[in-house]
């Protein structure tokens, strides 16, 4: 992965250097803020630009035609973790959106608390985990959230309690104001997550660090971590698992150009060498079509696809 110095605006930045699939076009403008205030200043002054906010690029596909919008990278910028309260039975951390989820898991376990071990299995930043309620091993991000700090595309900050959100499986949305019936999907041009207060409980037997080791060993054994990938490509359908449906449909090892459905885990698409974003996107659609034909189930992508197609 490639990271720019905080406060630096770069033009025509290859997004293949900033997404875990190692594929995709260029961003015409790419910015890494110095801190929260610098981010607010930058956004408030960019009156002619739309934005896409990214973290580690681990759940993202940028099409080969690239982006005219400005990319803002949180990782390497909003990276602070602070202890807000530390009691015998409870720990509250304020964590900025650019902090990798596994780092939070290690912090919590080292301080002697539990409930954050699952974060070690999320290959992205807290901001992305908040935006999609990322989860694994039976637990989800918003189960730890007390409150969040957000920022809108005018550079204004807001403090919000978790009760202000509709939260579900891979779904987070602001609840509508009183008197309105619709719920707007949280999206990059509405509000971005800047930080969150996360709560964890005491771990009297100090098992957190050992559990993290076991979870990471399970990841290594079951996921193709040695090849460029974006984690799970599809959401699990109600009552089932996307990987099982994909395998049942005979799709393990199927390729489009340099993109392949992983032999190790069928819900992963890996870049086996030279894959374009179009290869990956075409394979996503191919998997959806085949699973529908064989199983009669429509798989919903978990990955975010942005940008322009070539041609």
- Residues with active-site annotation: 170, 232, 302
DSSP tag of 76: T
Place of tokens 């990955």: 303
Q: In this structure, what token pair is assigned to residue 185?
A: 């999907």
Give the bridge partners for 152, in sequence order.
191
Other beta carbons within 10 angstroms of residue 117's beta carbon come to 25
- Cα–Cα distance between 100 and 36 in angstroms, integer? 17
Give the bridge partners for 274, in sequence order.
none
Please return the burial class of 311, using the count of CB atoms within 10 Å of its CB with bins 0-12, 13-18 and 19+.
exposed
DSSP tag of 190: T
- Cα–Cα distance between 131 and 18 in angstroms, integer? 19
């Amino acid at each position: 992965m490639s990271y720019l110095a905080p406060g630096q605006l770069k033009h025509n930045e290859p997004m293949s250097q900033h997404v875990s699939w190692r594929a995709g076009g260029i961003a015409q403008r790419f910015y890494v803020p110095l801190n929260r205030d610098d981010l607010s200043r930058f956004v408030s002054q960019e009156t002619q630009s739309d934005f896409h906010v990214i973290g580690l690029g681990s759940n993202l596909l940028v099409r080969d035609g690239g982006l005219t919008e400005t990319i803002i990278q949180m990782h390497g910028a909003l990276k602070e973790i602070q202890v807000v309260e530390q009691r015998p039975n409870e720990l509250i951390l304020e964590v900025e959106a650019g902090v990798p989820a596994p780092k939070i898991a290690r912090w919590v376990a080292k301080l002697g608390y539990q409930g954050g071990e699952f974060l070690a299995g999320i290959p992205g930043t807290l901001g992305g985990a908040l935006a999609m309620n990322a989860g694994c091993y039976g637990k989800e991000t918003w189960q730890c959230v007390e409150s969040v700090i957000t920022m809108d595309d005018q550079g204004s900050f807001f403090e919000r309690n978790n009760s202000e959100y509709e939260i579900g499986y891979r779904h987070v949305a602001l609840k509508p104001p009183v008197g309105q019936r619709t719920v707007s999907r949280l999206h990059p041009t509405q509000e971005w997550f800047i930080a969150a207060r996360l709560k964890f409980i005491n771990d009297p037997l100090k098992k957190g660090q050992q559990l993290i080791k076991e979870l990471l060993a399970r990841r290594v054994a079951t996921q193709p971590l040695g090849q460029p990938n974006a984690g799970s490509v599809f959401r699990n359908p109600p009552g089932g698992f996307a990987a099982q449906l994909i395998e049942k449909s005979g799709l393990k090892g199927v390729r489009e150009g340099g993109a392949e459905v992983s032999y190790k885990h069928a819900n992963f698409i890996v870049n086996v060498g030279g894959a374009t974003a179009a290869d990956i996107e075409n394979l996503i659609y191919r998997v959806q079509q085949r699973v529908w034909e064989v199983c009669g189930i429509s798989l919903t992508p978990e990955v975010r696809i942005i940008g322009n197609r070539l041609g």
